[in-house]
């Protein structure tokens, strides 16, 4: 029998129209949008479904993507499919925490609305950024970043051959140049509003940790795997600490998937728009079964396969 992990993508996966087909066809999904819009204080339906320039602004992206993922999640659960473990990449952790009962969806939306604001305000526009480094061979990215003057570090360990660096704009550019000289195939600047998962966001992490004290967190009903530790976490107080640290710490996604595989997970269901995480999982372990659920048709296919 399959052991299933639900995995949730983070910022960058968002697109206009995400979860719209579930909204149209599933009452449980419409209920999620209604609750989330009330918690956010603005129409998340408008951001997700109508052409607009807010969907890529961090303070709106984050609650919108969280809501879309949770709306799809509720339809998946309604179909009878249940997870044995859950994880998300960066923002996706909040959907994962909703999936295992740590947060209610309105509580998660409330926290994430402020998270986006804190992250936007932490570093002035143009002073920081992120670049994906693509390589065919292992690179000493940490050492190369440390050799550069200024603030630059590894933000994401996504899969073999892909890491993301983050920090001050000039330092990131110099580190990317040195990584290319060391054998990287490509260095791709990311369209993000700041140096996420960098020590430069320490103040945002501090504010978020204080805000999380006002949130009622429950123990997870199934194992939740943290980006910061690449291991499962059970205690609400530890989850608060890790969520505060996460915005200024590296995302250990590859290590998290490897942990889930060691724990017996053989099937990964990516819930939300895009196929980014599924592609990472395939590069980490080609024997893993990977499914994407972004549309009702994909949910129907998943049910058939399982």
Structural domains of the chain, count:
2
183 and 212 together in one domain? no
Rounded CA separation 96/241 (Å): 16
Residue 194 lies in a domain: no
176 with 287, same domain? no
- What tokens were used for 32? 């999620």
CA–CA separation, 150 and 173 (whole Å): 11
CA 259 from centroid of its chain's CA atoms = 17
Q: Which of 26, 95, 135, 197 is catalytic?
A: 197
What lies within 8 Å, CB to CB, of 296 at 6+ separation is 21, 22, 25, 26, 75
Number of Cβ within a 10 Å radius of residue 242:
19
Measured CA to CA, the distance from residue 76 to residue 4 in angstroms comes to 13
pLDDT, residue 39, reads 97
Residues 106 and 220 grouped into a single domain: yes
Catalytic residue among 29, 37, 90, 153: 90
The residue to which tokens 């990215």 are assigned = 141
Q: What is the CATH number of the domain that holds 78?
A: 3.40.366.10
Domain residues for 135? 128-189
Is residue 26 annotated as part of the catalytic site, yes or no?
no
Residues 185, 226 within the same domain = no
Instruction: Tell me: do 183 and 229 sit in the same domain.
Output: no
Q: How far is CA 261 from the centre of its chain?
A: 19
Same domain, 230 and 152: no
Q: Taking the CA of residue 267 as centre, how many other CA atoms within 13 Å lie in the half-sphere pointing to its CB? A: 15
pLDDT tier, 132 (very low <50, low <70, confident <90, very high otherwise): very high
Predicted local confidence at residue 193, as pLDDT: 82
Q: Are 68 and 20 in contact (CB under 8 A)?
A: no
Residue 250 near residue 154, CB atoms below 8 Å: yes
- Look up the pTM and report it: 0.96
Q: What is the pLDDT of residues 14-43, one digit of tens each?
A: 999 999 999 999 999 999 999 999 999 999
Is residue 253 in a domain?
Answer: yes
- pLDDT band at 287; cut points 50, 70, 90: very high
* 54 and 110 inside one domain: yes
CATH of the domain at 184: 3.30.70.250
**For residues 69, 195, 207 and 6, what is the CA-based torsion angle, rounded to 10 degrees?**
20
Tell me the HSE value of 197 on the side-chain side, using a 13 A CA sphere: 25
| Contact indicator for 204, 121 with CB cutoff of 8 Å | yes
> How many Cβ atoms are within 10 Å of 22's Cβ, its own excluded?
25
* Residue 33 counted as domain residue: yes
Taking residues 88-92, report their average pLDDT: 97
**How confident is the model over 139-163, as a mean pLDDT?**
96
Report pLDDT for 97. Answer: 98
pLDDT of residue 1: 75
Q: Is the pLDDT of residue 98 over 90?
A: yes
CA atoms within 13 A on the CB side of 21: 10
On whether both 21 and 85 belong to a single domain, the answer is: yes
Q: Are residues 115 and 226 located together in one domain of the fold? A: yes
Read off the pLDDT of residues 153-212 as tens digits, 9 standing for 90 and up: 999 999 999 999 999 999 999 999 999 999 999 999 998 889 999 999 999 999 999 999
Co-location of 90 and 210 in the same domain: yes
Q: Which of 21, 41, 42 is nearest to 30 (CA)?
A: 21
Does an H or E element contain 186, and which?
A: strand 186-189
pLDDT for res 219: 97
Q: Which two tokens stand for residue 254?
A: 């590859």
- Domain C-terminal end among 137, 158, 189: 189
Task: Quote the Cα angle for 250-252-258, to 5°.
Answer: 170
**Residue 161 and residue 102 share a domain:** no
């Amino acid at each position: 029998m399959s052991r299933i992990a639900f995995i949730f993508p983070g910022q960058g996966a968002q697109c206009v129209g995400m979860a719209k087909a579930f909204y149209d066809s599933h009452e449980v999904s419409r209920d999620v949008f209604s609750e989330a819009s009330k918690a956010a204080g603005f129409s998340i339906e408008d951001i997700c479904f109508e052409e607009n320039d807010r969907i890529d602004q961090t303070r709106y992206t984050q609650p919108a993507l969280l809501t879309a993922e949770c709306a799809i999640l509720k339809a998946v659960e309604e179909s009878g499919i249940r997870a044995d473990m859950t994880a998300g990449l960066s923002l996706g952790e909040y959907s994962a925490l909703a999936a295992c009962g740590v947060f209610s969806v309105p509580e998660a939306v409330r926290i994430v609305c402020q998270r986006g604001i804190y992250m936007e305000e932490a570093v002035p526009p143009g002073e920081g950024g992120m670049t994906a480094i693509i390589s065919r061979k292992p690179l000493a990215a940490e050492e190369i970043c440390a050799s550069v003057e200024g603030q630059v570090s590894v933000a994401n360990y996504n899969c073999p051959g892909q890491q993301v660096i983050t920090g001050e704009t000039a330092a990131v550019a110099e580190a990317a140049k040195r990584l290319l000289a060391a054998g990287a195939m490509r260095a791709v600047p990311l369209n993000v509003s700041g140096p996420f998962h960098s020590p430069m966001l320490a103040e945002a992490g501090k504010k978020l940790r204080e805000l999380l004290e006002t949130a009622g967190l429950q123990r997870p009903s199934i194992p939740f795997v943290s980006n910061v530790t690449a291991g499962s976490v059970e205690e609400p107080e530890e989850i608060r600490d890790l969520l505060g640290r996460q915005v200024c710490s590296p995302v250990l996604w590859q290590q998290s998937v490897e942990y889930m595989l060691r724990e017996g997970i053989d099937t990964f269901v990516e819930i939300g728009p895009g196929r980014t995480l599924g592609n990472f999982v395939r590069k980490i372990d080609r024997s893993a079964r990977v499914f994407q659920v972004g549309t009702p048709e994909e949910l129907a296919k998943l049910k058939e396969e399982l």
